[in-house]
Amino acid sequence: MGRPSLREAQVFKNVLDRFMIALGAAINQEKSQLFFFNTPMLIQNQISRLLGFPRSSFPYKYRGDLLVDKPLEHANWEDLLAKLEACLAFWNHRALNLAGHLIPVKSVL
């Protein structure tokens, strides 16, 4: 993969615009953010201005979970596993088939 470019961002914007027209919906600019990796600041600013989304950086909390740009540390896994255990505690594992076991796991992950 190469670095993001203004041309790629324009193509992406066109796809988003067509998607919004097809659905009759709009993207909430206040809830949308851009994350960049190894991208020069000039290109980041141009893409952010073109798409209308603010730039953000890691670590970042999304729906209460920590998003990071590096492998998770031990403490991060503990939080995730505790959340999964709490979710599973509400389900009676004997009454669930294999597919039923995946529902709470997917909801946490």
Instruction: State residue 81's pLDDT score.
Output: 79
For residue 61, give the 3-state DSSP assignment: strand
Rounded to 10 degrees, the C-alpha dihedral 47/51/52/53 comes to -70
Q: Is 108 exposed, middle or buried (0-12, 13-18, 19+ CB in 10 A)?
A: middle
Q: Output 94 or 81, whichever has higher pLDDT.
A: 81
> What pLDDT score was predicted for residue 3?
73
Mean pLDDT of the chain: 79
Cα separation, 84 vs 41, whole angstroms = 38
Domain-wise residue ranges, the chain: 1-57, 59-109
Instruction: Please give the torsion angle defined by the CA atoms of residues 29, 15, 35 and 69, in that order, rounded to the nearest 10 degrees.
Output: 130
Rounded to two decimals, the pTM is 0.57
43-93 pLDDT, tens digit per residue, is: 999 999 999 898 887 776 766 666 766 776 776 677 777 877 777 776 655
Kind and range of the H or E element at 65? strand 65-67
